[in-house]
């Protein structure tokens, strides 16, 4: 039975185009949680709360993931509170460490509402998922990572990562205040910091709260 549940969950993840890490974070777990459950059988069973969230996210009955069968005409239990966040499809790279202009909406990702509260999210409508292009923020962010951006969070916190528009280029960078003033940092040491930009050309789109990636 446990093997059937692991196989079913693995198939649901693959068919949806998601990855183990993103689904683990959806549950508020460490990034390796789902991979360990499917590949190593640890834990042996899904917690009821996790099973409910997964069944609601993948829109399947709870019994497919090891829960009780739903009664006729009803459901097997209360659904967790999930918030669906739009994922933005990105075109060609807009430069080293950059992300291109928004082109169209892709498949959304659902997050547990309690998890979003823990991240300090206010308005759910201000959230977007954007895909990173480039290597300038490695090892923190990698090319192809999905990042959760809060467009209401534009007040600069030194050391935080933001999506910025600089000279009409959309980029993901860390903002730091030091004796030079506001500095645009890349986490990859191969990319130099920028402290000589014109402040009038800088627009903060939003702060990066979370990232997910394929293993």
Does 20 sit behind a cis peptide bond, omega within 30 degrees of 0 on the bond before it? no
Burial class (CB in 10 A: 0-12, 13-18, 19+), 113: middle
Tokens at residue 77, please? 């239990």
Q: Which residue in this structure is represented by tokens 């994922």?
A: 87
Q: What is the structure's pLDDT at 97?
A: 54
Q: Is the distance from CB of 17 to CB of 23 less than 8 angstroms?
A: no
Domains and CATH numbers, the chain: 2-65 (1.10.260.40), 82-212 (2.10.109.10)
Average pLDDT over every residue of 152-175: 90
Q: What is the pTM of this model?
A: 0.62
Residues 6+ apart with CB under 8 A from 92: 100, 133
Summarize pLDDT for 76-104 with one digit per residue, the tens. 444 457 788 887 765 433 455 555 555 55
Convert the pLDDT of each residue in 47-76 to its tens digit.
888 888 888 778 787 778 887 654 444 444
pLDDT at 153 over 90: yes
Sign of CA dihedral 203, 205, 208, 209: positive
Is residue 185 over pLDDT 90?
yes
Determine the Cα–Cα distance for residues 12 and 14; give it in Å rounded to an integer: 6
């Amino acid at each position: 039975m446990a093997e059937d549940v692991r196989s079913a969950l693995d198939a649901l993840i693959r068919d949806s185009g998601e990855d183990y890490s993103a689904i683990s974070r959806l549950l508020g777990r460490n990034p390796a949680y789902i991979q360990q459950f499917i590949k190593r059988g640890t834990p042996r069973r899904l917690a009821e709360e996790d099973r409910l969230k997964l069944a609601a996210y993948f829109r399947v009955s709870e019994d497919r993931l090891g829960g009780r069968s739903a009664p006729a005409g009803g459901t097997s239990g209360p659904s967790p509170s999930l918030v669906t966040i739009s994922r933005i499809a990105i075109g060609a790279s807009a430069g080293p460490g950059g992300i291109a202009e928004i082109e169209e909406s892709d498949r959304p990702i659902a997050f547990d509402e309690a998890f979003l509260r823990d991240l300090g999210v206010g308005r759910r409508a201000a959230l977007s998922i954007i895909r990173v292009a480039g290597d300038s923020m490695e090892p923190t962010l990698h090319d192809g990572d999905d990042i959760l951006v809060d467009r209401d969070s534009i007040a600069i916190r030194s050391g935080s990562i933001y999506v910025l528009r600089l000279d009409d280029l959309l980029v993901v960078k860390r903002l730091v205040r030091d004796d030079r003033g506001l500095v645009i940092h890349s986490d990859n040491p191969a990319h130099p910091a920028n402290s000589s930009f014109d402040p009038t050309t800088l627009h903060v789109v939003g702060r990066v709260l979370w990232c997910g990636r394929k293993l």
